[in-house]
């Protein structure tokens, strides 16, 4: 796996927003599981900060990696709990696509069925 992608995953799992920002390119593109796009390091830094507030124990587990040059496909699981509530936790299969250029993540795309986390948010809000 690309070292930059591994560092990005480590920052996600440690909730190190500053580290994520350091690893994102200025024109970083985040695409969520519904195809929604967030462009730019600054906007996505705010996005990560908000996501970690919703899911303070969010983490990803990568079990398989496929690399082709600066592109990586990652397969595994994502999970967390809404506002840290044990009875509002979830874990589901997920996949990610990452593209790295000049040592920075230019694309982070998520593939997952997000119905469960959204239902948990709805039930606990």
Mean pLDDT computed over every residue of the chain: 94
Number of domains observed in the structure of the chain: 1
Provide the domain limits for residue 102.
3-123
Residue 23: which CATH number? Answer: 3.10.450.50
In order, the DSSP letters of 11-30 are HHHHT-HHHHHHHEEEEEEE
Give the SS3 label for residue 109.
strand
- Residue 97 is predicted with a pLDDT of 98
For 82-103, write each residue's pLDDT tens digit. 998 888 888 999 999 999 999 9
For 106-125, write each residue's pLDDT tens digit. 999 999 988 877 788 788 87
* C-alpha dihedral sign at 101, 68, 16, 89: positive
- Residue 1 is predicted with a pLDDT of 62
- Residue 108 is predicted with a pLDDT of 98
Contact 66, 72 (CB under 8 A): yes
Structure tokens at 37: 């796009």
pTM over 0.85: yes
For 4-35, write each residue's pLDDT tens digit. 999 999 999 999 999 999 999 999 999 999 99
């Amino acid at each position: 796996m690309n070292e930059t992608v591994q560092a990005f995953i480590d920052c996600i799992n440690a909730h190190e927003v500053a580290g994520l920002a350091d690893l994102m390119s200025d024109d970083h593109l985040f695409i969520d599981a519904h195809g929604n796009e967030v462009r730019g390091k600054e906007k996505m830094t705010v996005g990560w900060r908000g996501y970690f507030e919703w899911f303070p124990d969010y983490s990803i587990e990568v079990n398989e990696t496929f690399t082709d040059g600066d592109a990586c496909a990652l397969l595994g699981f994502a999970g967390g709990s809404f506002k840290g509530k044990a009875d509002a936790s979830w874990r589901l299969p997920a996949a990610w696509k990452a593209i790295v250029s000049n040592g920075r993540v230019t694309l982070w795309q998520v593939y997952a069925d997000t119905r469960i986390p959204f239902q948990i948010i709805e039930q606990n809000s």
